[in-house]
Amino acid sequence: MPPFRNRLRTPEFSRKKRRILYVKMALLVLLVSAVVGGLSYVSHRDTLRVNEVVIEGGEVVDERALRNLIMSKLSGKYLFLFPKDNAFLYSRSGLEAAALQSFKRLKTVEVSTDGLQTVVLSVSEREPTALWCGENRPWGEISTACYFMDEEGYIYAESPGFTGDAYRRFYGPLASGEPVGQAFIESVRFREFLNFFSELEKEEVFASELVILGDGEYELYLEDGTRIVFSDAQTLTRVYDNLLSVLSSEELKDRVPLNLEYIDLRFGNKVYYKERVDSE
């Protein structure tokens, strides 16, 4: 082996190479630290930090509480170095998700920036379409412990104690836990029921309550108290047609009120009804 190759592998040469490597690594660490430190210093400048939250589009939502939530999400730092309220660093999607999670009344939230110090939340709120009033319909009284649902059957807020017929009432089981934040039933099915109510109303058949019994069976209550029983064995269109046929029959078409206890539509073209017995 040539002598110069041995010299390249001497302990002194190896130590020299390690020292050079350590110096380069130290310089790199110092450079990265200087860059990060400089960025951290700049990110703390007041002119780059959010200090105001503006809510647009809200009518019922508690704007003060929503504003406080957003400011709390903007507090603190990333990696103990960069403020979360920096105009270039805050998470828009994180703020939107936090608002929707905490305020079920909100349907949409869009976060934008007005300048460098103001965050703008453009929100839309859910509109009440119906009420969910519990798993079971109480007998002899109208339930007042109800919750608002939007047009998709999403339960988003507790309602005041309505005693009139301002909204149609639905009854049926939910998943366990707090009702707010749950879907009563699948949204497509819920819209079908709403359309069913509307189509009946066009024929001056006014229904006020619907109960989901389970096993594909339902009870519809007319405003005069008549109970309509039907099931998934027939489409709502078929239930609608059969019900109107019964109500327009010679026996019932001139009766106001109907004074019936129930009409049972579960058996195809065979329809059964029972007269209401006067308690006196």
Q: In CATH, what is the architecture of 130-275?
A: 3-Layer(aba) Sandwich (3.40)
Is residue 98 over pLDDT 50? Answer: yes
Is residue 280 over pLDDT 60? Answer: no
Is residue 113 over pLDDT 60? Answer: yes
User: Phi, psi (5° rounding) for residue 48?
Assistant: -105, 10
- 69-78, 116-125, 252-261: which has the minimum mean pLDDT? 252-261
Reported pTM: 0.81
The domain 46-125 is placed in CATH, from the list 3.40.50.300, 3.10.20.310, 3.30.460.80, 3.10.105.10, at 3.10.20.310
Span 68-97, mean pLDDT?
93
The pLDDT value given to residue 164: 60
Token pair in block for residue 31: 């450079």
Is residue 7 over pLDDT 60? Answer: no
- Residues paired with residue 41 on neighbouring β-strands, in sequence order: none
DSSP 267: E
111-117 long-range contacts, CB within 8 A, separation 24+: 113/50, 113/87, 114/54, 116/47, 116/48, 116/49, 116/50, 116/87, 117/47, 117/49, 117/50, 117/51, 117/52, 117/87
Q: In the chain, which residue ranges form alpha helices assigned H by DSSP?
A: 3-8, 11-43, 63-73, 92-102, 187-202, 236-247
**228-254 per-position pLDDT tens digit:** 999 999 999 999 999 999 999 888 877
The pLDDT value given to residue 142: 64
The pLDDT value given to residue 28: 78
